[in-house]
């Protein structure tokens, strides 16, 4: 970028907040709370000891980063990323960066082998191995323990980084890796390891920040190290020719192209069949919970007792056009709807009867005491029906799976924050 550039895509640039080896971060004076990250046509390794200009890298990096963060945002991960801004830049929430690099490893390779002599390359970590490094180029980013991070008492935007914050970052880092690992599996690529960083926004919340691109991970197509398409190809070069740089660039372009359509299609449907229109309120709660998990949902009314032919016609209608299909049966009193549907289809059926406290034991029995040969599940609460449907659909859709995991992560974070706020001895 020319030093005379004053705006990008209509955003007026302020002062440079910080400049790194491969990016510049600009203040946006007309957009309080936001900043602009501009990538450079530059590739480096070894704390900048090896460095080359690489025409087009900024645009490729920005494209890759945007695709990754939009995927994570859709899953529900809390990030600083806001939106794409031109070919080489993006808008992000302004935050103070925590000077710790979080590394997650599925297979042992690279520097891990040098620091852990005797571990064979390819050793599989289950769960993934997590390591932390203090960002300090002068000392080659030394590895730090969690105890060192807590003892450093970093204070950023009023938040002191303690054990609670470390726990939140550890859990979030692991989930980010597992989401991207599952995403890359759909492209027959193995995510070997990756690094991420966090920042603290002005509201005191920790968010995933910085950039995630082909500099951030090891990626092996078909799980074969010889086919690597990440920056390790550049790191491994004893000398660098123009042809070598072209190879690195082609690899980076390939990664960006694979990410372009990596988010799975929403080719599923949850059909909520209610036995009566009086069950609409209960069914709408199921639908709301389904949508919060990224599930397509449709509500229908049909009674297996009063109109069995119509019920089966509706089931056949959906079977003829959908392959990822789940039926949720909402029927009180004598629930014939769920068992009839279950006995007439090979798709999953979930009973969620609209029982009331005064007749729960009687009404729920018809959903539980099924004839032999039927396998429909029964849950009592609308959210549970949606969660059960998402669990089934998540087996073949990593985004649905991711939303379930993010929901669990958010529950963990909420409990952590509540405990932090209330803990402490209250003297008599």
What is the set of domains in the chain, with CATH numbers?
95-259 (3.30.470.20), 268-396 (3.40.50.1970)
**Does an H or E element contain 197, and which?**
strand 189-201
pLDDT for res 124: 98
Token couple for 30: 């007309």
**Does an H or E element contain 414, and which?**
helix 398-422
Give the residue ranges of DSSP H helices in 205-241. 232-235
Residues 6+ apart with CB under 8 A from 44: 21, 22, 50, 51, 52
Alpha carbon 192 to chain centroid, angstroms: 17
Q: Do the beta carbons of residue 283 and residue 258 sit within 8 Å?
A: no
Q: Do the beta carbons of residue 262 and residue 292 sit within 8 Å?
A: no
From residue 157, alpha-carbon distances to 205, 208, 270, 311 in Å are 9, 15, 43, 58
The edge-to-edge listing of strands for the beta sheet with 89-93 is 16-19, 23-27, 34-39, 89-93, 81-84
Largest Cα span, the chain: 79
Q: Assign residue 156 a region: left if phi > 0, alpha if psi is -120 to 50, beta otherwise?
A: beta
Q: Which of 260, 99, 104 is nearest to 176 (CA)?
A: 104
Alpha carbon distance 364, 344 (integer Å): 21
pLDDT for res 2: 44
pLDDT for res 362: 67
Alpha carbon 24 to chain centroid, angstroms: 26
What's the burial of 149, exposed, middle or buried (CB within 10 Å: 0-12/13-18/19+)?
A: buried
pLDDT for res 48: 74
Token couple for 292: 């919060």
What would the DSSP string read from start to end of 94-108?
Answer: -EEEPSEEEEEEEE-
pLDDT for res 115: 96
Alpha carbon distance 188, 385 (integer Å): 32
pLDDT for res 117: 97
Which of the 8 DSSP states describes residue 175? H
Alpha carbon distance 367, 360 (integer Å): 11
Q: Which of 382, 233, 361, 371 is nearest to 299 (CA)?
A: 382
Q: How do the pLDDT tens digits run along the chain, 428 residues long?
A: 445 578 999 999 999 999 999 999 999 999 999 999 999 999 999 877 899 999 999 999 999 999 999 999 999 999 999 999 999 999 999 999 999 999 999 999 999 999 999 999 999 999 999 999 999 988 999 999 999 999 999 999 999 999 999 999 999 999 999 999 999 999 999 999 999 999 999 999 999 999 999 999 999 999 999 999 999 999 999 999 999 999 999 999 999 999 999 999 999 999 999 999 999 999 999 999 999 999 999 999 999 989 999 999 999 999 999 999 999 999 977 778 999 999 999 999 999 999 876 666 667 877 788 888 888 999 999 999 999 999 999 999 999 999 999 999 999 999 999 999 999 888 98
Q: Do the beta carbons of residue 172 and residue 80 sit within 8 Å?
A: no
pLDDT for res 366: 76
Backbone φ and ψ of 355, nearest 5°: -75, 155
pLDDT for res 196: 98
Place of tokens 């004053």: 6
């Amino acid at each position: 970028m020319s030093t005379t550039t004053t705006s990008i895509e209509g955003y007026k640039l302020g002062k440079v907040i910080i400049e790194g080896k491969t990016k510049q971060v600009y203040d946006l004076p007309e957009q309080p709370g936001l900043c602009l990250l501009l990538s450079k046509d530059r590739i480096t390794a070894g704390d900048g000891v090896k460095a080359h200009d690489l025409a087009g890298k900024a645009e490729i990096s920005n494209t890759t980063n945007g695709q990754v963060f939009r995927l994570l945002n859709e899953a529900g991960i809390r990030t600083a990323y806001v939106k794409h801004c031109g070919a080489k830049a993006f808008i992000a929430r302004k935050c103070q960066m925590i000077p710790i690099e979080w590394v997650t490893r599925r297979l042992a390779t690279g520097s891990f082998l040098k620091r852990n002599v005797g571990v064979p390359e390819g050793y599989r970590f289950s769960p993934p191995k997590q390591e932390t490094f203090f960002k300090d180029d002068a000392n080659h980013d030394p590895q730090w323990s969690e105890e060192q991070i807590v003892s450093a008492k970093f204070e950023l935007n009023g938040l002191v980084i303690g054990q609670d914050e470390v726990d939140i970052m550890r859990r979030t880092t692991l989930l980010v890796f597992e989401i991207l690992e599952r995403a890359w599996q759909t492209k027959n690529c193995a995510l070997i390891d990756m690094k991420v960083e966090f920042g603290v926004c002005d509201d005191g919340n920790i968010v995933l920040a910085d950039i995630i691109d082909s500099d951030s991970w090891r990626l092996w197509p078909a799980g074969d190290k010889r086919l690597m398409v990440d920056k390790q190809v550049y790191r491994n070069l004893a000398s660098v020719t123009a042809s070598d740089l072209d190879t690195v660039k082609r690899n980076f372009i390939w990664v960006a192209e694979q990410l372009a359509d990596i988010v799975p299609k929403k080719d599923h449907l949850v059909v909520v069949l209610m036995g009566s229109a009086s069950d609409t309120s209960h069914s709408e709660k199921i639908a709301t919970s389904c949508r919060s998990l990224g599930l397509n949902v449709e509500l229908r009314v049909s009674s297996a007792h009063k109109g069995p032919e119509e019920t089966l016609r509706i089931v056949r209608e959906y079977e003829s056009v959908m392959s990822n299909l789940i039926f949720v049966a909402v029927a009180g009193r004598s629930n014939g709807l769920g068992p009839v549907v279950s006995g007439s289809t090979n798709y999953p059926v979930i009973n969620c009867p609209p029982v009331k406290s005064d007749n729960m034991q009687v009404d729920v029995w018809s959903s539980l005491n099924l004839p032999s040969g039927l396998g429909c599940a029964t849950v009592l609460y609308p959210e549970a029906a949606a969660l059960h449907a998402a669990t089934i659909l998540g087996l073949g859709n990593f985004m649905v799976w991711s939303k379930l995991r993010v929901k669990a992560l958010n529950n963990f974070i909420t409990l952590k924050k509540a405990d932090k706020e209330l803990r402490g001895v209250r003297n008599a």
